Amino acid sequence: MIAPDQFPERPSMEGLTSEALEQVASYFQVLSEPTRLQILNLLRQQERNVGELAQLCGYSSANISRHLALMSQRGFVSRDTRGNSVYYRIMDPSIYELCDLVCGNIARKFERTAKERAAFVAPAPRRGKSR
């Protein structure tokens, strides 16, 4: 595996082959599931085992294990066995930069939409003394 700092320049999606675009799409597929985003948020705070994640997410351990297996295959999380428990942690913290970028973009979109809607709302009539 090539470390990110070993690339001569920052890779870009522009000009990628179909095979490379398939890998990019596969990466984003992992992020397209709300439960996996919830798991990423919980692992942002600290490493956790399946039982802890299941309890915090409100899902079964089997369900969380399936999500973690996919996330592990795609390189999002790594696992560490300690006694009878397996603990998961984030492999590449830069995933949070991507998620924060998307969240900021969505928040700005909602702000713009709210301002656009407000422009079409007629002001409430003034109540005052009429002569």
Give tens-digit pLDDT for 38-81: 999 999 999 999 999 999 999 999 999 999 999 999 999 999 99
Tokens of 74: 């795609």
Mean per-residue pLDDT over the chain, rounded: 89
Report residue 86: phi and psi, to 5°. -115, 125
- What is the per-residue pLDDT for 125? 73
Residue 40 burial (CB count, 10 A): 19
pLDDT number for residue 129: 64
Q: Looking at residue 113, what is its pLDDT?
A: 87
Q: Rounded mean pLDDT of 83-92?
A: 94
What's the pLDDT score for residue 130? 58
The SS3 call for residue 94 is coil
CATH topology (fold) of 28-118: Arc Repressor Mutant, subunit A (1.10.10)
Query: Token pair for residue 63?
Result: 């369900």
